[in-house]
Amino acid sequence: MSKKTLIINGSPRPGGNTAALLAELKKHLNGDVTEISAFRADISPCIDCRGCFETARCVVRDDMDLIYGDDFDNFVLATPVYFKTLPGPVLSLMSRFQPQHAAFYVLKKPLEIKLKKGGLILTAGGTASGAASEKAAAHHIFVMFKMLNAHGHTDHAVKSLITDTLPAGDDQKALADTRSLAFWLNGDEKPEISFSWKA
């Protein structure tokens, strides 16, 4: 059966480091691929109306409905790190996972979210600070994968963290890791489960 992969692209640069690794991923990825640009999609931030506190559904209708539809087997977050966290539009998109939060913590009825394989593509500049930037962004990365019930990204992560001196498109290890990620997403093995809404 053909796999469906959702990619959230957290970079504003069509020809940048994240784009280079995504191009390599998509060359080797089978099945249907849907890519959403956090910078260009019609996705507003959460407006804190608290409608989801009653229904566990967001009242705002925009491109986030594609993500809410939950019709994917794989999820990939591909993003640079800005100021040791994820770019603003990615965090804005993440705020729209409030229905999952409301279902679990307010209504005490966790949503049934499809189990997915998760992959991470992370880029960062600097010659010494890339690893520190990754560590600082780890919390938001974890939350993103938890909201989508996607697992395995810690073991299937592509990292190019010195892009000031080695562009991601020239980073042979990152390119090889990207191909490995694609092959894993294409496979039939079950995703590793490292967290649960019931944990």
pLDDT tens-digit readout, 175-190: 999 999 999 999 988 8
Query: Over the chain, what is the mean pLDDT?
Result: 93
- Could you tell me if residue 197 is inside a domain? no
pTM of the complete model: 0.93
Domain count, the chain: 1
Instruction: Look up residue 54 and give its amino acid.
Output: E
The confidence band for 161, taking pLDDT boundaries of 50, 70 and 90, is: very high
Lookup: tokens for 129: 């600070």
3-state helix, strand, coil split of the chain in percent (to 5) is: 40, 20, 45
Boundaries of domain holding 107: 4-186
Distance from C-alpha of 163 to C-alpha of 144, rounded to nearest angstrom: 24
CATH number at residue 44: 3.40.50.360
Question: In this predicted structure, what is the pLDDT of residue 199?
Answer: 39
What does the pLDDT look like over 76-108, one tens digit per residue? 999 999 988 999 999 999 999 999 999 999 999
Report if residue 57 sits inside a domain. Answer: yes
- Check pLDDT > 90 for residue 197: no
User: Which DSSP helix (H) or strand (E) runs through 147?
Assistant: helix 130-147
